[in-house]
Chains A and B, each alone.
Chain A
Amino acid sequence: MNTVELDGAAISDEQLLQQVVAHDASALQQLYLRHANAVYALANYILRDNAIAEELTQEIFLTVWNKAEQYRAEHARFRTWLLSITRYRAIDQLRQKRRRIQPSLSLDDTSIAEEQAPITEPIDTQRELHLLLRHLPPEQRLAIELCYFEGYTHEEIAAYLHIPLGTLKSRILLGLKKLREIMKEGK
């Protein structure tokens, strides 16, 4: 649990959030100091756009400010909740962007994919590798990236990669199982 010593007492994220519910701006600032980098890094990793990631970071913390009462401590830690909504919002923006830029082209349109593939390169080969996914073989890493950080469905990814749906699922499953083992070893 993320805590800080203030006036000799440890203040957890959840306690600060209770103060945010009462519209204590300084409590929000404390939460920002603790988690803004993680939110921004995740937003930028998904969106690959500094300016939009900045806007999203601001939006996420305004969500905390305006809807702190919606957080349920029994479901997840605050930071987990925060990063989850960051991922959802970022992927939502990615999908909107895809619709705006290529309304007639999508990964599930196999006829177009075959004619013009690759439509886009979903993975930026220049960007720094994910710290955890770098432990996986490239094909498993790509499958999980497209699913978890790009927001594509299994069918869309399989069509894009020109592999059977079962093969794609196996790659994701093998990758996740390996990550699970890594996490267990790391505990």
Chain B
Amino acid sequence: MVKVQTLKMQALKMQHSEIQEQIPFFAIGGLSAQESARVAEHLAVCPSCRALLNEYQFVADELLEQVPPQTAPARVAVRLQNIVEADAKRSGASTRAEAAEKRPRFWDQRIVMPRWVFALGLLTLLLLFGGAAALAFQTRQSTQTSQEMLRLLNANDIRFVTLTSPDAKASAGGYICIQNDNSTALLWLRNMEPLNPEYVYQVWLRDGTTRDNGGTFRADNDGRAIGVVQAPRPLNEYQEIGITVEPVGGSAAPTTPRVIGGQLE
């Protein structure tokens, strides 16, 4: 009897050591179905092998995490958004508008001027903002404007202009995404100071001799603003963009110092 038990123990130990060698392969899915089943059977009764598997599973997970980083193109978010919203409407489930009642969204900005459309999701502007990466957008105005935005995002010759504050200590900043010969641009700002209700931010576009009103907007409570601006002329015809604080409704000309701005040339 004792001899039988000893043999069983030896067999279990042998199986244990064999299984231990297979666990790394098991963790990365490198075993056949038959081998995997044998390992799984052993794992069910062996805590130490389960602990070892956890360690190798961590390695396997990190292998998936630590591929060279890349930014998903913004158009993926736009396509996904269109499909999902259409599906949500078909199913009669909560729509984005309904969801807005539940909580503010990343891209949900209170931009008030007709020239602005809630857009959104830009993203990809990417890495510079610490990993935000998708552009989704929401149409509150014309389909035409949305389509213009889509065209812009899919263009190969877009460029990003950095917008900074003249005050070196200020953290406000952002980007404007423009394309030559296109009067539509995407704007993404962060760390904008919250304004009293009677004030808004106003965009100004200058070409040296003239200055156009680019629209007004508000930032959200976190200081973020993302939107679409449609200028009177193609953006590459302007030399400079600036943003100031103005009374609600906007001003005919800037009445306060520039908050942020950048050179468009």
Binding site for B on A (CB under 8 A): 6-7, 22-30, 32-33, 36-42, 44-45, 50, 54, 57-58, 61-62, 65, 80, 83-84, 86-87, 127-133, 144, 147-149, 154, 169, 172-173, 176-177, 179-180, 183-184
B250 within 8 A of partner (CB):
no
Quick one: which of A25, A45, A130, A154 has the most chain B CB within 10 A?
A: A25
Q: A11 to chain B: closest CB distance in Å?
A: 8
Between-chain CB contacts (< 8 Å), 10 pairs:
A25-B84, A25-B99, A32-B80, A36-B133, A41-B69, A50-B73, A54-B72, A57-B76, A58-B76, A169-B25
A37 — which chain B residues lie within 8 A by C-beta? 69-72, 131, 133
B18 within 8 A of partner (CB):
no
Contact A33-B24, Cβ < 8 Å, known A24-B94, A62-B83, A84-B64: no
Contact A29-B105, Cβ < 8 Å, known A22-B94, A23-B93: yes
B28 — which chain A residues lie within 8 A by C-beta? 144, 147-148, 172, 176
B157 within 8 A of partner (CB):
no
Chain A: CB-nearest residue to B120: A29
Chain A: CB-nearest residue to B108: A26
A180 — which chain B residues lie within 8 A by C-beta? 24, 55-56, 58-59
A30 to B94, CA, bound (A): 15
B60 within 8 A of partner (CB):
yes
Contact: B91 with A23, CB < 8 Å?
yes
A130 to B100, CA, bound (A): 40
Scoring B residues 75 to 90 as 1 if CB is less than 8 Å from chain A, else 0, what string do you get? 1110111011101100
Q: B81 to chain A: closest CB distance in Å?
A: 7
Contact A32-B134, Cβ < 8 Å, known A23-B91, A25-B88, A180-B56: yes
A172 to B22, CA, bound (A): 11
Contact: A26 with B100, CB < 8 Å?
yes
Q: A71 to chain B: closest CB distance in Å?
A: 16
Contact: B103 with A6, CB < 8 Å?
yes
Specify which of B56, B61, B79, B131 is in contact with A176 (CB 8 Å cutoff).
Answer: B56
Counted as pairs of residues, one from A and one from B, with CB atoms less than 8 Å apart, the total is 156
A29 — which chain B residues lie within 8 A by C-beta? 77, 81, 105-106, 121, 134, 136
Task: Determine the main DSSP class of A at the interface with B.
Answer: helix
Contact: B94 with A40, CB < 8 Å?
no
A40 to B64, CA, bound (A): 11
Contact: A36 with B76, CB < 8 Å?
yes
Q: B121 to chain A: closest CB distance in Å?
A: 7
Contact: B64 with A24, CB < 8 Å?
no
Contact: A36 with B72, CB < 8 Å?
yes
A50 — which chain B residues lie within 8 A by C-beta? 73
Chain A: CB-nearest residue to B79: A58
B132 within 8 A of partner (CB):
yes
Specify which of B58, B65, B75 is in contact with A83 (CB 8 Å cutoff).
Answer: B65
Specify which of A65, A147, A176 is in contact with B87 (CB 8 Å cutoff).
Answer: A65
A7 — which chain B residues lie within 8 A by C-beta? 103-104
A149 to B58, CA, bound (A): 16
Contact: B64 with A176, CB < 8 Å?
no
Specify which of A33, A87, A154 is in contact with B133 (CB 8 Å cutoff).
Answer: A33
Q: B134 to chain A: closest CB distance in Å?
A: 5
B62 within 8 A of partner (CB):
yes
B156 within 8 A of partner (CB):
no
Contact A130-B66, Cβ < 8 Å, known A24-B99, A62-B83: yes
